[in-house]
Amino acid sequence: MTRLSDLPIRDDLRGLTPYGAPQKHVRYALNVNENTHPIPEDVARDIVESLAHAVLTANRYPDREFTELRDGLAGYLGHGLVRDQIWAANGSNEIIQQLLQAFGGPGRSALGFPPTYSMHSIIAAGTGTQWIAAERDADYEISPETLVRAIEAHDPDLVFLCAPNNPTGTPLSLETIEAAYDAARGIVFVDEAYAEFMPADQPSALTLLPGRERLVISRTMSKAFAFAGVRLGYLAADPALVDALRLVRLPYHLSALTQAAAVAALRHAPAMLAMVDDIARQRDRMIAELPALGYRAWPSQANFVLFDGLADPHGTFEALLERDILIRDVGIPHALRVTAGTEDETTAFLAALAEVGRPLGQ
Given 3.40.640.10, 1.10.1370.10, 3.30.410.40, 3.30.70.1890, which CATH number is that of 41-267? 3.40.640.10
Q: Which helix (H) or strand (E) segment is 285 a member of?
A: helix 269-289
Q: What percent of the chain is modeled with pLDDT above 70?
A: 99
The per-residue pLDDT for range 100-159, each reduced to its tens digit, is 999 999 999 999 999 999 999 999 999 999 999 999 999 999 999 999 999 999 999 999
Q: Which CATH architecture has domain 20-40+271-356?
A: Alpha-Beta Complex (3.90)
CATH 3.40.640.10 in the chain, residue ranges: 41-267
Provide the CB-side half-sphere exposure for 279 (13 A, CA): 31
What is the C-alpha to C-alpha distance for residues 255 and 90, in angstroms, rounded to an integer?
9
Per DSSP, the residues of 79-94 read TT--GGGEEEESSHHH
Predicted structure pTM score = 0.94
Q: How far is CA 30 from the centre of its chain?
A: 15
pLDDT, tens digit, for every residue of 234-267?
Answer: 999 999 999 999 999 999 999 999 999 999 999 9
Residue ranges, comma separated, of all CATH 3.90.1150.10 domains in the chain are 20-40+271-356
